[in-house]
Every structure is written in structure tokens, then in C-alpha cells.
Amino acid sequence: MATLTKTEISSSEGKVNRRSLERPRRLRQSFALRSLVSETDVNPRNLVMPIFVKDGSHIKEQIDSMPGIFRFSPDEYLDKEISEIQSLGIGGILLFGLPSKKDSFGSEAYSDKGIVQRAIERIKQNNPDLVVISDDCMCEYTDHGHCGVLNQKGEVQNDKTIELLGKIAVSQAKAGADIIAPSAMMDNQVLAIREALDLADLESTPIMSYSSKYASAFYGPFREAAGSTPSFGDRKSYQMDPSNVREAIRETRLDVEQGADIIMVKPALSYLDVIRAVRREFDLPLAAYNVSGEYSMIKAAAINGWIDEDRIVDEVLHSIRRAGADIIITYFAKDYARRWKNLEP
Ligand code: PBG
């Protein structure tokens, strides 16, 4: 005898039962029930807070386009911020440096006395257990604002740049960085950095590669924060075209082959499909960067009273996790972790 389908069973038992067979609302009746069947979590230990450090002393200045985010000088102002981040149980920090002087080679980026190197040393001295990730790029350090060195025609030179990215990585790792995060989008940069680190006996230092980084207008507020707007042209000859997703798989595969330990999709929100595609294809830990523009849009609307900021942030972070990211780099890390802590019993 053929087995009955659910509809056939219910229709033989009457109308009321048929209506009661599938009722998703049963599991939504209380906070406790909803929590029990919740599929995705955002834990502060998976969040990374970006930090801007600036040469000077006694500086804590707010970034105009990013309310609530500051630049810190590497002194007790920075110490206080870092201790707070650590006590909130946040997974790590991602450091960006604003040097006091820039040149065409971005030499402050690989100076042992550079702003980021001094900040790393200080942070590791005071908070040795906090994961410190350092951005490996040149745009904050070059006088022209591009992510590499230029030739006469003003084009970014790939192979000269990756040599310097290797130098930067070694100086950051020597200063104590736990993870190096190259964001310049030069071809073969992961290999060059891996080789440079290994040659300097830093083979244990992992690389978190910005493997698929798009040429995005969502970086606008960051460029104000870091003073890294290119003085001419744009970054489209090295960052990816937003219309591509197969290319993200290709870029990620190349970085994995070159020795990346953690891969990344950036930005996050307009690229959730890319996060999903990369997640399906690779088994490495995957980070997503919830970038400055994504932060500023929410802040601006919240300041105007147009949206409920906390609920929006929860929704955004959960969507990035649902898409498949393990790690989320987000300017909301502190805000979220503070609320998470308050919910703890
Ligand atoms: C540097 C870098 C940028 C960001 C991270 N690293 C800016 C850029 O590529 O222009 C953007 C981060 C953000 O917008 O929050 N290459």
C-alpha cells in the first residue's frame, strides 16, 4: 500500500488538523523558544575591532564621518582603549597607522620606529593575550595615496610593491603582530609576504589575506579616517570590479595556493553572495569586513532617529554570519560586545 502524504492524512482527519500540521509560529512564541531554535550566533570572540593609531601624544580625536570611532596616539589613550576591548571579550584588533610623514615609497610603513610598529610593541607589552592584526598596505604612507609604488607614468608597480609589502610584514611581525593582513590587492603579494616572513624566521606568523577586495565606494569614510584618499585616479586597476563573483573564487584560490591562513571578503553587506560563494569553495577560516561606509550609513540614520541602531546592528552582523563568515571585522565590535555582556546572566 502506498504511504499517505501529510495532506492525505490530514484531509482524512478533517480540516482543523490539516491547518495544524505545519505551524512555524509554534516555535516563535517566546524569547526562550526562539533562542532554543536560533540557528546563528554572533559572539564577540569572532569580532575584530579596527583601530587607528596616529603619531603624537594625548590624542583621541573623533573621525567626522564615523561618529564613535577615534584616532589614538600610542600612549595611555591607546592603552585605555585596548584594555576596554580586551575586557569586552572581543576577538582581536586590526591596526591602521597614520604616520607623521609620507613619501613616494611609503617608507614609514616598514620603519622599525614606525607608528604601527610602536603601537604594536606597546599593545603587546600591556595586553600580551590580545590578538593584534596589522594591516599591510602602503596607501596610508605614500604621499600619492596609492597602495603601491608608482612608475613615471603614475601606474602602480606590482612587483616592486610586493617586495615592500614583504618588508612591512617582517617589521610588523618583529614588533609583535600576531597576524599580518595584506590589503593592497597586488598579484602574488601573499607569496612575497610568506617568503619574506619565512626568511626572517617568522614562519609561525599567519597571514590573513584580503583575498577578494572590491573597488568600493563604501571605503569613503575610512579614507578620511586614515588620510589615504588617492591624490589622482582610483584603485580600479588593483581592487576588484563589483560586478564579479567568479573572480572572487579565482583571487581566493591564488591566495590559498600562496599560503594564506585566513581569507577575506570585503566589503560585507553588498557582497553577501560572495561570502557565501567563497565559503562553499574553501575550508579556511573566512573573515568579512563590515567596512566604514557600512558603519557610517547606520550611524547617520540612527543619529537622525530614523532607525533602531542596536537592532539594525544585530541584523547586519547576523546576516554576515548567515552568509558564511567566521570572523567579522566591524567598527560595531565594541558596541555589540557591550550589549552582549549586559545580556550575560
Ligand atoms: C587600505 C585599506 C582600506 C580599507 C582597509 N584597508 C581602504 C582602501 O582600500 O581604500 C577600507 C576599510 C574600511 O572602509 O573600513 N588599503
pLDDT of residue 292: 98
pLDDT of residue 336: 98
Rounded Cα distance, 183 and 141, in Å: 13
pLDDT of residue 12: 52
Rounded Cα distance, 219 and 66, in Å: 11
Atom 5 of ligand 1, residue of closest alpha carbon: 183
Q: Which of 300, 224, 316, 305 is nearest to 68 (CA)?
A: 300
Helices (H), 60-103: 76-87
Q: What is the reported pTM?
A: 0.93
Query: CA dihedral defined by 296, 135, 287, 129, rounded to 10 degrees?
Result: -110
Q: Which of 37, 34, 75, 35 is nearest to 55 (CA)?
A: 75
* Mean pLDDT of successive 10-residue stretches along the chain, which has 345 residues: 49 59 94 96 98 96 97 97 97 96 92 96 97 95 90 93 97 98 97 98 98 97 90 92 98 98 98 98 98 98 98 98 98 97 70
Find out whether the beta carbon of 258 lies less than 6 Å from any atom of ligand 1.
no
Find out whether the beta carbon of 291 lies less than 6 Å from any atom of ligand 1.
yes
pLDDT of residue 34: 96
Contact yes or no for 282/252 (Cβ under 8 A): yes
Find out whether the beta carbon of 223 lies less than 6 Å from any atom of ligand 1.
yes
pLDDT of residue 18: 63
Ligand 1 atom nearest the C-alpha of 219 is 14
CA 76 to chain CA centroid, Å, is 25
3-class state of residue 71 by DSSP? strand
Distance 89 CA to ligand 1 centre (A): 25
- 21: which residues sit within 8 A by CB, 6+ positions away? 6, 10
Find out whether the beta carbon of 219 lies less than 6 Å from any atom of ligand 1.
yes
pLDDT of residue 338: 97
Distance 192 CA to ligand 1 centre (A): 21
Q: Which of 19, 37, 39, 15 is nearest to 28 (CA)?
A: 37
Distance 15 CA to ligand 1 centre (A): 59
- In order of start, what are the domains of the chain with their CATH numbers? 41-343 (3.20.20.70)
Find out whether the beta carbon of 292 lies less than 6 Å from any atom of ligand 1.
yes
Query: Hey, which of 214, 219, 299, 328 would you mutate to test ligand 1's pocket, going by the most ligand atoms within 8 Å of its Cβ?
Result: 219
Contact yes or no for 236/214 (Cβ under 8 A): no
Find out whether the beta carbon of 297 lies less than 6 Å from any atom of ligand 1.
no
pLDDT of residue 342: 79
